[in-house]
Structure 1
C-alpha cells in the first residue's frame, strides 16, 4: 500500500511519536543504498548491516509511511490469491517449493525479529484462520492444508465446531488454521525495525525522496532535493509508489485501494465472545470478510469500493454494517477511525525481483500479505546484495518489464470489485 501523511494520521495506528533522523548530506557515499523505509527496505538494511555492509536508507517521508503504516496488521504466512498448487503450476515444483517455503516461514520470522530486537508493537502470535464461508469451500481448504503439510508446515483443518469455538463469525463451516500467524501494530513494528537497523549501524534518512538516478563509474548516483548519494549497489523497496524513482517499480503493478475501519473499544466480555482465542481471520468469499481485535479490543475490518471517488465514509458505513451482521451484534459498532491505502497487486499474485540496471534491483509484489512476505523479501534482497546469484534465490526474476496502463488497471479493479459483490449478493452473502 501507499498513502499520504494525512492517511496515517487517520489510522488507528497514528501516533505523535517520530524518530529523530539526521538530514541527508549534500553529497555522501555508501556501499549499498536502499530506497524506501518500509518493512522490505528496513529488513534488508538490518540484515546487510549485521553482515558488515555500509548501508544508507533513503525514505521519502518517515519510516513506515508507506504500506507499512496503514495495513490492518495481519501477519499471514501464505499468498492471498495463489495456493501451493497454483504456484507449482506456474513456476514448476522445484522453484515453487523454494518460494512457498519462504513465505511459509514469514510469520515466524516476524515474531522472531520482534522478540530478538525487543520491538514493542502489540504483537500477538495467536495464529491465523482462513474461514470456510460455505461447506463447498472446505475441500479447497483441505487441499491447501495437505499441500502445506507436505512442505513441513503445521497447518490444521478445523471442523465447523472447532472453528466456531475460535470465532463468532456467522458464515463459518470450518477453517484452515496456521499457528504461526497473528497480528500486530504495523506502524510500531516499522519504527521498531528502524531503531534496530540504526542500532546495527544503518544510516537512515527521512524526508529524502529520490527523484532521479544516473550511472557513474561502477555505481549509481541518487539525487533528491538538495542531495546526492553515490552507491555501489541500490535496492529499490518502494512497492506501490509511483513518484520519482519509485515509479520504476510501481508501474508493474495493479493498484488496489483498500479501506480499513477500527471501531470503538468493545467490552472485555463482548471481545471474548467474538474472538475467544483472539485469532485474526479472513473468509473464503470473493468479497472476503476480514476481522481482528486490537490490544484494546477494537474491531478492525476492511473492504474495497467499486468507485473510489468520495468512497471513504460511504464504504466505512458498509464495513461497519457488515461487522454487525457477521458477528450478530445488537447494533452497528461506532467507527473510531477510517483510513485507506493502495495495495500493489502483480498479475500472477506473486512477488518478483526486477533488474533495473547493473547493480540496481527492485523487489515488489506483496499482494495483500505485506508483513509476513516483506520479512522474507527483505532477507532475499539482502542476500542478493550480498552476492547470492539471482537464480539461487526463492523469489523469481520478473520476465516482463512492460508497464501496466494505470487507467486500464484502475478500471479493471473497479469492475472486479463490482463482479465479486454481485456474485456474493446472488448467493445471499
Structure 2
C-alpha cells in the first residue's frame, strides 16, 4: 500500500479492468491521419475517421489509460461544469452557441451509443446524473438552468428537496437538477474498448511512442518519434489534454492543469446503497468545493477532491475524502480508502472547449473542464470532421488563436488559492 499511495500509478480501474489491448508494434510509414494521444478524444476521432475510410495511426506517449482518460471517476455528464446556456450564447452568439450546446447535450448519448455499437463491456449505466443545490440561491440557479436545457429538447428536470433526500439520504440540499441522460462507466474498460474498435476497423494503436516534433516534409506532415521512428501523414490531430511533453507542449500550456485525487472505498453494505443511491445515480453538488460520489459494480463508493497544499497530498486526500464521505452520507461506520489515485484535468479560462490549428491539416482540441467523458467523445468527433475537410467556421467548437497561459508553471499555485477561496465561500452559501 505504501508504494501505491506514493506513486498513484495503480487505480481502481487497473485493478478491475476486464478489457485488454495489445499495442501494435509496426508503425506504418504513412497514413492519412496521425493522431497524437490515445485517450478518449484520440480514440473517438480515430473511430470516426476509420468509419469514413481514412487510414489512421494512434500514437500514445505512455500506456493506454495512463492519462486523464484512465484516471477519472467514470461520470458521464452531458453539460458544462461552470457554464450554462445563457453564458455560452453570450460568449459565442446565438447560432454558434446553440450549435455547441446541442453538441454537448448529446455527449452522454454519444458515449453510450458507441458502447452499444462496439459491444464494449464497461459497466455502462445510463441512470441519470443528479446535481443537488446547496442553498436557496443554488436551487434557483438550477431551476433556471434546467428550464434552459429543456428548451433545447433535453430531458432535464428540477426535483425538490424531498426527492433529493430520497435519492441521496442527505437533508442539506434545496433541490437538484436531474439529467436523465447522464450515467457512469468503467473508464479504462471503455477506453480499451474504443482502442479495440479502432484496431478492428483497420487502424493501428501504438503505446510508448512520444511524438517530439511535427514538421512539413514535401507537402505532408512528418512526425518524429522519441523512439527514433518517424511517420508521414496528410493530417495530424493533437489529442493530448493537459500534457506538455514533446509536440503537446504548446497546447498543454494553454489550459490550467488541476490535480484531482480519487478514492474508492471497500464495498458498501446493500442497505446503505439503497439509502444513498436507490437508482444508482452519480451525484455532484453545486458547492464550490463540490461533493461527488458514485458506486462501482461492486458497490465501492468513489469520490474525489483537490489539495490546497500539494505536499503529502496523496495520503492526506485519501483520508480526508473518506472522512467527508462518512460525514456527508451519515454512514454508520467510517469508511476507509481501498485505493487512492490521481490525475490531471485541463481547464480553459472560460470553461469552454476550443480547437486550435497549428498548420494546414494539423488541428488540436482541449478543454473538457471536468466533463472529460461526454465532452471528449464530442471533441474527438469534431476533430475528425476537421481532418475530413469540413469548414472550420461550420464546426460547433470554435477555433481559437493559441495563446499559452503566462507563467503556466505557476498555475497550480493559483488553483490552490482558488480552492481555498471556494471553501470559504461554501461556509456562507447555506
Query: How far apart, in 2, do the equivalents of 1:226 and 1:15 lie?
Result: 35
Alignment of structure 1 residues 31-180 onto 2, 5 Å? 31-180=32-181
User: Are the aligned partners of 2:166 and 2:275 in contact in 1 as well (CA < 8 Å)?
Assistant: no
| Aligned residues of 1:219 and 1:359 also touching (Cα < 8 A) | no
Deviations 1:173-216 (A, max 9, x none): 21100110000110000000001111111111111111122111
Q: Is the 8 A contact 2:267 2:300 kept in 1?
A: yes
**How do 1:26-425 and structure 2 match up within 5 A?**
28-224=29-225, 225-425=227-427
User: Normalising to structure 2: TM-score of the pair?
Assistant: 0.95
Match of 1:23 in 2: 25
Q: What is the alpha-carbon distance in structure 1 between the residues aligned to residue 401 and residue 33 of structure 2? A: 25
Note the aligned Cα RMSD (angstroms).
1.6
Which stretch shows the higher mean deviation, 101-110 or 323-332? Answer: 323-332
Structure 1 Cα separation of the partners of residues 283 and 313 of structure 2: 25
Deviation at 1:400, TM superposition (A): 4.5
The CA deviation at 1:6 is: 5.1
In structure 2, C-alpha distance between the alignment counterparts of 1:87 and 1:284, rounded to whole Å: 19
CA distance in 2, matches of 1:57, 1:21: 10
**DSSP-derived class of the 1:21 partner:** coil
Residue segments in structure 2 that go unaligned for 5+ positions in a row: 1-5
| SS state at 1:141 partner | helix
In the alignment, does 2:15 pair up with 1:14? yes
Offset at residue 403 of structure 1 (A): 3.5
In structure 2, C-alpha distance between the alignment counterparts of 1:366 and 1:240, rounded to whole Å: 10
Q: Distance in 1 between matches of 2:55 and 2:66?
A: 24
Counterpart CA distance in 1 for 2:135 and 2:334 is 24
Aligned length: 423
Q: CA deviation digits over 1:344-373, x for unaligned, max 9?
A: 100000100001112111000011100000
Gaps of 5+ in 1: none
> TM-score w.r.t. structure 1 length?
0.95
8 Å contact 1:110–1:375 — kept in the other structure? yes
Closer, same or farther: CA 400–56 of 1 in aligned 2, 3 Å: closer
2:36 and 2:239 in contact (8 A); partners too? yes
- CA drift of 1:128 comes to 0.3
Select between 98-107 and 81-90 the one with higher mean Cα deviation: 81-90
Distance of 2:88 and 2:44 partners within structure 1: 25
State the SS of the aligned residue for 1:122: coil
Task: Report the alpha carbon displacement of residue 426 of structure 1 after superposing the two structures with TM.
Answer: 4.9
Q: Distance in 2 between matches of 1:212 and 1:240?
A: 17
